[in-house]
């Protein structure tokens, strides 16, 4: 703890996984976030690393796990527009409950589909906290206990990327595509974000969706929950 840091400060490592230019709407959200950190929080922001989102998330999670004193690992993707107050809210909630907390955003397609995994495949924005099976990790806060628990069962992975004799990419593949529920030579595929949520839930952690949060997923159009009320002809 630094001399100026207050007791019970929530220490956050925010990783923006990006290998391209950040969307203007996302950049404006990020500027509002890093220029006005509320009392009681410490924010460290890192950007980039890998074109592979799975490698990028896993690498920052490994750095968080092995080399920092942060309490919360947070991810915001470079194409998600948000309200800074919502970021502090999910971080505080994750810290206080020691569960994974995030907002829900839409896939960049029509008809609109929320990036969230539920047991029956149904989901509604009720404005409340909902326990789910998985969330997209483009706006999420993860407590240290969950990261440490998942890392414990991962193998330290070398990718062979070397610069000036130094290996640049070594990580625990906490965020990886996995196949689960394997039976009779069949299984269910999960992407890197749902994969991490699955591994964390196996360790006893909950995944909580804060449906009061309004996010925009930026593409050729700003996809948002409002699109659920729009009917479009195919």
Structure confidence by residue, pLDDT tens digits, 88-138: 999 999 999 999 999 999 998 888 899 999 999 999 999 999 999 999 999
Q: What is the pLDDT at residue 102?
A: 98
- Confidence category of residue 232, pLDDT binned at 50, 70, 90: very low
Task: Map out the domains of the chain with their CATH numbers.
Answer: 10-229 (3.90.550.40)
- Residues 134-191 have pLDDT tens digits of 999 999 999 999 999 999 999 988 876 665 666 666 889 999 999 998 888 899 999 9
pLDDT digits (tens, 9 = 90+) for 13-23: 999 987 666 77
Please give the pLDDT value at position 163: 56
Query: How high is the pLDDT of residue 27?
Result: 81
Query: Residue 201: which pLDDT band, with cuts at 50, 70 and 90?
Result: very high
Using a pLDDT cut of 90, give the percent of the chain over it: 65
More confident residue, 110 or 233: 110
Q: How confident is the model at residue 41 (pLDDT cuts 50, 70, 90)?
A: very high
234 or 157, higher pLDDT: 157
CA separation for the pair 181, 133 (Å, rounded): 14
pLDDT number for residue 141: 98
User: pTM here?
Assistant: 0.88
> What integer pLDDT is reported at residue 9 of this predicted model?
96
Asked if residue 176 lies in contact with residue 195, where contact means CB atoms within 8 angstroms, the answer is: yes
Instruction: Read off the tokens for 75.
Output: 């991810």
Give 228's DSSP letter.
Answer: G
Residue 7 has pLDDT above 60, yes or no: yes
**Cα-to-chain-centroid distance, residue 113:** 18
Q: The tokens of 28 are what?
A: 């404006």
β-pairing verdict for 207-210 and 129-132: antiparallel
CB-CB contact of 74 with 140 (8 Å):
yes
DSSP code, position 210? E
Highest mean pLDDT among 2-6, 65-69, 144-148: 144-148
Average pLDDT along the chain: 89
pLDDT of residue 233: 45
Mean pLDDT of all residues in 36-56: 89
Q: Which region among 20-24, 27-31, 58-62, 146-150 has the lowest average model confidence (pLDDT)?
A: 20-24
């Amino acid at each position: 703890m630094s001399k100026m840091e207050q007791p019970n400060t929530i220490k956050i490592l925010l990783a923006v996984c990006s290998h391209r230019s950040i969307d203007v709407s996302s950049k404006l959200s990020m500027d509002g976030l890093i220029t006005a950190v509320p009392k009681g929080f410490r924010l460290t922001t890192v950007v980039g690393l890998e074109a592979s989102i799975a490698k990028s998330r896993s690498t920052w999670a490994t750095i968080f796990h092995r080399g920092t004193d942060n309490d919360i690992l947070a991810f915001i993707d470079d194409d998600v527009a948000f309200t800074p107050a919502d970021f502090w809210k999910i971080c505080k909630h994750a810290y206080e409950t020691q569960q994974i907390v995030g907002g829900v955003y839409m896939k960049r397609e029509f008809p609109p589909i929320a990036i969230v995994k539920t047991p029956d495949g149904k989901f509604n924005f009720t404005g409340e906290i909902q326990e789910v099976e998985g969330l997209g990790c483009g706006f999420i806060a993860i407590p240290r206990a969950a990261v440490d628990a998942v890392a414990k069962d991962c193998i330290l992975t070398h990718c062979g990327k070397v610069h000036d004799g130094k290996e640049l990419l070594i990580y625990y593949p906490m965020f990886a595509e996995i196949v689960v529920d394997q039976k009779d030579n069949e299984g269910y595929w999960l992407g890197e974000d749902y994969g991490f949520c699955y591994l964390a839930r196996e360790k006893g952690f909950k995944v909580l969706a804060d449906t009061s949060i309004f996010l925009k997923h930026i593409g050729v159009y700003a996809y948002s929950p409002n699109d659920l009320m729009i009917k479009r002809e195919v």
